[in-house]
Amino acid sequence: MASYLADYGVEDARRGKVIKYIAVSVVAALLVGWLSYVGLHNYSEKRVAKDFISLVNEHNYRAAYSIWCPKACEHYDYSQFMADWAPNKTAAPWKIDSTDSCKAFLTINVTADGSEVQSLSVERGTNVLSFAPAPECQEYKWHWKQFLNRILGRS
């Protein structure tokens, strides 16, 4: 009779362990996928902006203009570009201050000491760089960074 009840509950325990393993694996895979999406979602757009800013900071304006305007620009010629980005505007290097992700483009705010904030946009898919219509996205979205800062008591 002891051998009859010796394996009682072993199958249920093993099934419970398999279910826990599957559940933890699914949650871990979803978490890794979400973190990858958040971290890499704007990667190519940020790379274009960083390349542009580094060329402007190196005073390589021809190469920076070729990123800004890869084809012939009718309404933004090189002289206007130099008026906006030349070193007489500011001697300090430009740096990325903040980004805001929109559906169609990424808004990138760049600053330099002694200069006002310049808002750039990089279109998704084409990576075309231009001035942004506003420093922040004007579309409805959940501002999770601001929400977390309010919850954690940061200003």
At 84-95, the pLDDT tens digits run: 887 766 667 889
Is the domain of 29 the same as that of 61?
A: no
Residue 112 CB contacts under 8 Å (≥ 6 apart), including other chains: 90, 92, 93, 94, 95
The size of the chain, in residues, is 155
112 confidence band (pLDDT: 50, 70, 90): confident
Q: How many domains does the chain have?
A: 2
Q: Is the dihedral of CA 32, 38, 44, 46 positive or negative?
A: negative
- 151 found inside a domain: no
Is the domain of 18 the same as that of 82?
A: no
Q: Chain-wide mean pLDDT for the chain?
A: 85
CB 130 within 8 A of CB 106: no
DSSP 117: -
Would you call 126 helix, strand, or coil by DSSP? coil
Residue 155 has pLDDT above 60, yes or no: no
pLDDT of residue 147: 75
Average of pLDDT values for 23-43?
92
- 134 found inside a domain: yes
Q: Which range among 23-32, 43-52, 132-141 shows the weakest confidence by mean pLDDT?
A: 132-141
Is the domain of 75 the same as that of 115?
A: yes
Average of pLDDT values for 13-19?
91
Euclidean distance between CA atoms 48 and 64, whole angstroms: 10
Please state whether the predicted TM-score (pTM) of the whole model is above 0.75: no
Is the domain of 35 the same as that of 65?
A: no
CA atoms within 13 A on the CB side of 136: 6
Is the domain of 62 the same as that of 106?
A: yes
When comparing pLDDT for 74 and 46, which is higher? 46
Domain that holds residue 60: 43-145
Is the domain of 75 the same as that of 102?
A: yes
Residue 132 has pLDDT above 60, yes or no: yes
- 35 found inside a domain: yes
Q: Measured in whole angstroms, how far is the alpha carbon of residue 121 from the centre of its chain?
A: 12
Euclidean distance between CA atoms 41 and 68, whole angstroms: 21
